[in-house]
Structure 1
């Protein structure tokens, strides 16, 4: 699979852009067409940092052998969290990612959409820096006319942008390093890591789990499918050899964007027939999450009552998030694509080397099934987090909506205002408050600010500010001593002459 995006020939480079464009988008006139190369853009960004004094002087007293913050994951969430911390002068940090460099996150692996679902105009992980936005990066290379004609951001181009983001923000990242365990004490957390040099332990005062959509679990596989021969099915999260499905009949289970993306990939790989089977009576059409895309909910979700937070998440889950318009067209333009609603699977048997599906819409014979059934919070799929699972306060311990006792949401962690885990039994594992869930599992407590492009900057700033305040409070005695010992004079004594008395 390619891991970079090349602009189509129709996209003109920035050198061909007009130098004095006047436009009015309802906000203000724009006469600056911006940098014409990445080098110019990076110079502007460097000046932004200089003007704003980012990062400020380091202020956290060092602790021998311990990081101030260890970040597990160097995808979009990890990179944004790292830069948010550096903006506040917290620089003794390190990121660890199990993927090779350039392969962090889903963009070059199991994400199979042609374009992102988010509008291209969102600032994303820019943290308030205009010259760090995707738009600035794009226009510096291809010009404003190309930006105006761009409908949505191609997935692999977003990956290229994140590579650039990592380069210009320059966080300390170790790739090929996996977390294998967490433990803690009164003063910090110990990470057990496995990398190119084998097993090792790293001490940190704080840990951020920026480990993605499956950060506290993994792919959701309905129990029924676990009994079916694995040769005949894959989860959409897995590596799938789509080339091997050429000339085959494929069924994709699901109604969301992931189902459409995998169906489209199978069709483009030459599948003879692709069925998209949806249990719902109708295809979801309205993305309710977009109806709540405003600063109020981004900034205030974690201040809602438990009932309100559950209500919001449950409503969006029940109504379902539809596939984007262009993604559905990607499938329906193929005559060998078929979509069936109201189609549940009652059973599956292997006959003559093929899989026979018994569905509520009749019998179907297929060669392979792709489960686009999403992810789940499932602590058993994350043995490295066993100590968290044993001690963490969950939503089921605080609130469950009436009639929703079996909901997956009950397994989500009930986080504090700084995304920190909380103890189920206070006093048994106080170090849990030093671990912060900046992954999808935070959605119940904080809303969509840990992995979705619209709210990622707000979430990272909330996280960084919370960690900064705790580090200061923990080190108060040392800061107090530093204040008392500060002796740099503002006045030297030769700026005035004292009078002898009143004239």
Structure 2
């Protein structure tokens, strides 16, 4: 089968198989959570902020447990997450066979979706998953599971309340509204609790001279320009390659290290033991493992690096951290230990920072969130700002109060995005273990709902009166003859 001409018949057959799989597993479970109202308004069970892969996987996992969830996403339909917007890689880093958000269902995997349309031979020939094809798969995932996603809905404020609910201020093309949920989950991606990280030395540089690798940017505007890319990770290579392919006059990668990392230590650590066991480790071991991975850094994918190096006007400048930047007319003089680079534009591939205070929608609760730096002092020499700023999460990914009692209802907001990694492991955004993370959080929420309504569930159990035995299934036997004779005497 030609992999460029998908088979709609094959996909329809897969969807029928998925429906059968779900039916055999008795999924989804019947809805069991009692409806609630507040001030005459319906209270939703779970509101998820973010309709990317993590949000979809969680909504599906909740649905399987009989729990309704609504997703709010600010993007237009089909453009949730970074895949079709700010991501610039040609293919995913993850091996194609990883099951991603399939939740243990073979017929829900990318492989099943791909083979149903393009065939086994095309799957065997596939090296890595094309980025836009992954987005197509996620669109199908949403549709085939009938997940409730409200697109072009921006959450502008999240306010925990003492009455057992969380209020969300939401704006959409229809206007502004306030909705109320019993629990809110932040499935907001890499920059989920902050934003792009840029060095302090760029503060005085006019914004027209630079962008972060996660910014929406028309790389066609870089045609003919001398571009500098700061960093050596995957996003640096993707940004550099995109600029070169758009016709940049040159691209200088300014790389702090003397060599580019070559070994993905996180991949080497990946196994079911870590997936399920990280959450139960001591603080020391959690910090030690995640700090080691941070220090070693994840190397850029080989394909992404070759995509850059095949251009003669690409230069890899090792041992060249940026010391300072000076604007001279319409040029940037970028100083490094290797010399001064004269550039027209800079792209910062410098990752993300955790900073709840920088996000207006988190203002009602940001100052109350307990971070790891509030509970743990790192060993000398193992300081790590990213880890220190990570939220200290409870067993259901819930935020915890820095000062007990200072922010009632904070525990009803759950962090299912990258900053949850130190508390729970890499379960809340990366493809390898996102299903396990979604199931862990869904099960935690199910337990919480039951505990909160246990009196009602007990009353329902006591009132349950559906007979399984009618009383006409047997005839009572008479007393034994010997006993009857003795009683007659």
TM-score (norm 2): 0.95
**1:117 alignment partner in structure 2:** 93
Shift of 1:56: 1.4
Verify the 8 A CA contact 2:201 2:325 in the aligned structure 1: no
* 1:102 corresponds to: 78
Q: 2:477 matched to which residue of 1?
A: 499
- 1:51 and 1:407 mapped to 2: Cα distance? 48
Secondary structure of the residue aligned to 2:320 is coil
1:263, 1:400 → 2: CA distance? 38
Instruction: State the Cα distance separating 1:231 from its structure 2 match.
Output: 1.3
Q: 2:34 matched to 1:52? A: no
Counterpart in the other structure of 2:270: 293
- Residue 6 of structure 1 is matched in structure 2 by none
1:14 and 1:143 in contact (8 A); partners too: no
Once the two structures are superposed, residues 396-424 of structure 1 have per-residue CA deviations (whole angstroms, 9 ceiling, x without a partner) of 11013123556232111100111011111
How far off its partner does 1:426 sit?
1.1
Q: Which residue of 2 aligns with 1:18?
A: none
Aligned equivalent of 2:126: 150
CA distance in 1, matches of 2:231, 2:182: 42
Cα offset, 1:190, TM superposition: 1.0
- 1:380 deviates by 2.7
Q: Where does 1:349-360 land on structure 2 (aligned, <5 Å)?
A: 349-360=326-337
- Aligned counterparts of 2:470 and 2:428: Cα–Cα separation in 1: 50
Please say if 1:172 is aligned against 2:148.
yes
| Aligned-partner Cα distance in 2 for 1:86–1:116 | 28
Distance in 2, Cα, partners of 1:141 & 1:174: 28
In structure 2, the residue corresponding to 1:261 is in which secondary structure? helix
> Cα RMSD over matched residues?
1.5
Residue of structure 1 equivalent to 2:299: 322
Q: How does 1:359-370 map to 2 (within 5 A)?
A: 359-370=336-347
The equivalences for 1:209-220 within 5 A come to 209-220=186-197
Distance, in Å, in 1 between the alignment partners of 2:384 and 2:28 is: 46
8 A Cα contact 1:12 1:143, kept in partner: no
**Match of residue 336 from structure 1:** 313
Could you tell me whether the CA contact under 8 Å between 1:189 and 1:431 is conserved in 2? yes
Q: Say whether 1:274 aligns with 2:251.
A: yes
Q: Superposed, which structure 2 residues align to 1:40-439 within 5 Å?
A: 40-64=13-37, 65-91=42-68, 93-183=69-159, 184-403=161-380, 404=382, 407-439=385-417
Please tell me whether residue 448 in structure 1 is matched to residue 426 in structure 2: yes
Instruction: Provide the C-alpha distance between the structure 2 equivalents of 1:477 and 1:211, rounded to a whole number of angstroms.
Output: 34
Deviation at 1:11, TM superposition (A): 2.9
The answer as to whether partners of 1:14 and 1:144 remain within 8 angstroms in 2 is no
CA contact (8 A) 1:182 1:189 kept: yes
Flag the 1:196–1:336 CA change in 2: closer, same or farther, 3 A.
same
Contact 2:291 2:384 in 1 (8 A): no
Mapped partners of 1:417, 1:162: distance in 2: 28
Gaps of 5+ in 1: 1-8, 16-34
Deviation string, structure 1 residues 267-305 (Cα, Å, up to 9, x no partner): 111111111110011111111110111111111111111
> d(CA) in 1 for partners of 2:273 and 2:28?
28
Check whether the contact 1:12–1:146 (CA below 8 A) recurs between aligned residues. Answer: no
Matched residue of 2:409: which SS?
Answer: helix
**Residue of structure 1 in register with 2:466 after alignment:** 488
Question: In the alignment, is the contact (CA less than 8 A) between 2:357 and 2:367 conserved in 1?
Answer: no
TM-score w.r.t. length of structure 1: 0.92
Higher Cα Rg, which structure: 2
Contact 2:372-2:392 within 8 A present in 1 as well: yes
Range with bigger deviation, 239-248 or 250-259: 239-248
Distance 1:121 1:36, change over 3 A: farther
Cα distance in 1 for residues equivalent to 2:21 and 2:43: 31
Deviation of 1:200 after TM superposition, in Å, equals: 1.2
Matches within 5 A, 1:458-497: 458-497=436-475
Offset of 1:442 from its aligned partner? 0.2
Residues 36 and 139 in structure 1, CA contact (< 8 A), matched pair in contact too: no
- Structure 2, unpaired ranges of 5+: 482-489
Q: Using the TM superposition, give the Cα deviation of residue 493 of structure 1 relative to its aligned residue in structure 2, in angstroms.
A: 1.3
SS in 2 for 1:430: coil
Separation of aligned partners in 1, 2:2 and 2:309? 25
Taking a change above 3 Å as real, the CA distance of residues 435 and 481 of structure 1, as seen in their structure-2 partners, is same
